[in-house]
Structure 1
Amino acid sequence: MKAKNDAPLRSRQLIGYFVFSILLNGFGNGLTVAMNLGSALWTASAVNLAHALHLTLLTVLLAEGVAVVLFNALVLRRLEWRRIAGNFIFMIPFSFLVSWFAQLIGMTPLVALPLMWRVVLDLFGIVCTGVAVSIYQRLNVMLHPNDDLMQILRFHFLHGNAALAQPLSFVPPITLILICVLATRQAYALNIGTLFSLVAQGAIVGLADRVVFPQLKHRHLVV
């Protein structure tokens, strides 16, 4: 196997793209949690697990990340220590970032806006998440384990099709959500945003690949 499309980037460009994408993703996820009108599937599963187990969102985000790192190794049928290290380096500050943005936005007047505007903001948060995933997947320096799973499915099994890979990568969080809802008889962070994430986030990632920083190509892909 060989790496493809290793487009050169200056260190300053690489850092700039990466910092922007992780902040955008943290903001998007935090916004959907604060609006409580449906989060992206992984975030929604973490919110429901946090309520079911009486744990903090931060704790569950970290635990989910560890579980997905192990699952990714099973899918690849090998341990890639550089990849795993990148997953952990990304996941830990990102989990804090989502929790921080959710708390910060929750203290603003945005959460008291009329329903229509909160729906718009929630969907905007999903779009932000999809765009951010597109950017740092193309950089491919380090990825959140959840997005690494989508990347693995996309390029190892689905010939680069983001619209198929994203919903397939959502099977584990959907399963967790169903278990939590059956156990607690309550549903959290599930609404129109969750449905929008399920049906559209993969397409958003694919579209962003073409129109958001189109000069940025997928790097270091091993296929």
Structure 2
Amino acid sequence: MEKRPLNKTYEMSLLLGYFIFSILLNSLGNALTVSLNLGSALWTAAAVNVSHALTIQLGLILFVEGILVILLNLILVGRISFKRIIGNLLFMVSFSYLIGEISEKLIFLGIDNLNLPLRVLLDCVGIVLISTAISIYQRVNLIMHPCDDLMQILRFKFFKGNPSIAQLVSFIPPIIAIIFAMVITGKIYAINIGTLFALFFQGALVGVADRTVFPTLKHHNLEV
């Protein structure tokens, strides 16, 4: 029997459902890593270190970091896309709010008082959840965080769809920022087991999720 194409309205509703699920999953994963205090994700860790080096509020550094990545993305795709810019900004604002809310609730429940082995395990679970969420909303491709947008651009424009290499290359700017801040302060902040786990495994985990989590969901509307 010939397969009929999905109704456009139904398809958009389905994509929106995937997207909402991925945002909640990513927020939970990030909230886990934040509340457990076992190392921030690399972009966040870079912002923390630069904040200490320049004595500027972390929130402002995170916002400027996002704007700079948006500009880098536009340079890499070679054109100005207001849809991309607005989508990145909307994602940044709503995403930060959700992480803050969920983190507070997890801390209230006492997750940071668990024994160290269990905290390490949950921190790695948080990175797995983040990677799975990135895989889902990159495939849906409605809006995404500028850092994940950067990884997607690198992945399909320069690395033939390889998520592991693209993720590592996308981590070069925050690594440089961390080194720069460390030279100034002589100290390093927000780096721990979770940061290292993300550095070495996040890209590979995105690739695994592509194949195993909602495997019928393919990448939509790639503009790279």
Q: TM-score, normalised by structure 2?
A: 0.89
Contact 1:166–1:201 (Cα < 8 Å) also in 2: yes
* Structure number with larger C-alpha Rg: 2
Structure 1 residue 63, shift from structure 2 partner: 2.2
Structure 1 residue 54, shift from structure 2 partner: 4.7
Runs of 4+ with >6 A deviation: none
- Aligned residues, how many? 218
Structure 1 residue 182, shift from structure 2 partner: 2.6
Match of residue 60 from structure 2? 59
> Aligned pair in 2 of structure 1 residues 180, 108: CA closer, same or farther (>3 Å)?
farther
For 1:116-143, what per-residue CA distance to the aligned partner results, in whole angstroms no more than 9, with x for missing partners? Answer: 1111111111111100100000000111
Contact 1:37–1:193 (Cα < 8 Å) also in 2: yes
Is 1:202 the counterpart of 2:191? The answer is no
> Aligned pair in 2 of structure 1 residues 108, 57: CA closer, same or farther (>3 Å)?
farther
The 2-side partners of 1:217 and 1:29 are apart by 24
Identify unmatched segments of 5+ residues in structure 1.
1-5
RMSD: 2.1
The 2-side partners of 1:79 and 1:102 are apart by 35
Match of residue 13 from structure 1? 14
Identify unmatched segments of 5+ residues in structure 2.
1-5
Match of residue 104 from structure 2? 103
Match of residue 39 from structure 2? 38
Counterpart of 2:15, as a letter, is: L
The 1-side partners of 2:109 and 2:54 are apart by 28
> Aligned pair in 2 of structure 1 residues 55, 110: CA closer, same or farther (>3 Å)?
farther
> Aligned pair in 2 of structure 1 residues 215, 64: CA closer, same or farther (>3 Å)?
same
Structure 1 residue 35, shift from structure 2 partner: 1.4
Q: TM-score, normalised by structure 1?
A: 0.89
Structure 1 residue 53, shift from structure 2 partner: 4.4
Match of residue 72 from structure 1? 73
The 2-side partners of 1:99 and 1:45 are apart by 19
SS in 2 for 1:222: coil
Is 1:174 the counterpart of 2:144? The answer is no
